[in-house]
Amino acid sequence: ELAAVIGSGYDSRSKDLDLASPLEAQDRFGVAVSLDYDSTLNRHRLAVVARDDEGEGDAAGSVETGAVYLFTFTDDSFSGASHVGNIGHSYDTTASDFDLRITSTQSWGGSLTSVALEGNYLAVGASRSTVTAANDGQVELFSFTNNTAATQFNNIVNEGTLCTPCSADAQDVAVVPETGQTLANGDAFGFAVSLNGNRLVVGANEGDGANSGGNAESGEVHIFPITHYEVSDAVFATNSS
């Protein structure tokens, strides 16, 4: 049985959450979702990508930059749904907002395509961004406070970026699938992301495999270990075979 719906105009069930504001026409809310359960607090948290969001108060104008909407609940059965914050262009109103600006390579649609939430980590994939080549893609890794029910998504910190040639900050990871190889035009790194324990997995569905013998657009999966509040050295599984 359907427990609830979160979206524009939904309010017929006790657990529904009406997002008529701030959602606007063609925001594409629901492109990606990730649900996490906190056994200590006995409640769920939810992160949802609105790919074509234009920022807080349409701060990006007509440019679709995308945003991640953050939700909390008051129990483990989705009661008390609350929209507590956003990660996206010019979002800085609440303690659970974070101003993230990644421009899409495409002339239509935002750059954000995936999200993964576990514990106090959140990974956001932007496979439609351009770092050094069109649509090579990137992933942003965030941490936040989840000590109490009232501070579950507070104090959001951008812990690092995974891309080519990302290395400006100490916790960035330069993605090198094979010696001498970088993410390339159209790889779409960040098309899908998943967090589990201390591992981050990133899909690059348009990747061409290893330079030493991969197949065009066969796709790749990149696997990273993560240490406490730090992105560690990368381990990859990218050969198309």
Q: Give the Cβ contact number of residue 227 at 10 Å.
A: 10
pLDDT of residue 57: 86
pLDDT of residue 232: 42
pLDDT of residue 60: 67
The CA distance from 142 to 68, in Å, is 12
pLDDT of residue 227: 58
The CA distance from 3 to 120, in Å, is 25
pLDDT at residue 195 is higher than 50: yes
DSSP the chain: -----EETT--SSTT-EE-TTT--TT--EEEEEEEEEETTTTEEEEEEEETT---GGGTTTT----EEEEEE-SSTT--S-EEEEEEETT--SSTT-EE----BSSSSS-S--EEEEETTEEEEEETTB-SSSTT-BEEEEEEEE-SSGGGTTEEEEEEEEEESS--SSTT-EE--SSTT----TT--EEEEEEEETTEEEEEETT----TTT--TT--EEEEEEEETTEE---EEE----
Mean pLDDT of the chain: 88
pLDDT at residue 182 is higher than 50: yes
Q: Which pLDDT tens digit goes with each residue over 1-37?
A: 999 999 999 999 999 999 998 999 999 999 999 999 9
Is the pTM higher than 0.85? The answer reads yes
pLDDT of residue 103: 85
Residue 161 identity: T
The residue that leads in pLDDT, 230 or 94, is: 94
Q: Which pLDDT tens digit goes with each residue over 142-175?
A: 999 877 899 999 999 999 999 998 877 878 888 9
pLDDT at residue 90 is higher than 50: yes
Position 231 confidence tier, pLDDT thresholds 50, 70, 90: very low
> Are 77 and 3 a contacting pair, CB within 8 Å?
yes
> Nearest-CA neighbor of 127 among 159, 101, 105, 99?
105
> Nearest-CA neighbor of 112 among 182, 188, 183, 195?
188
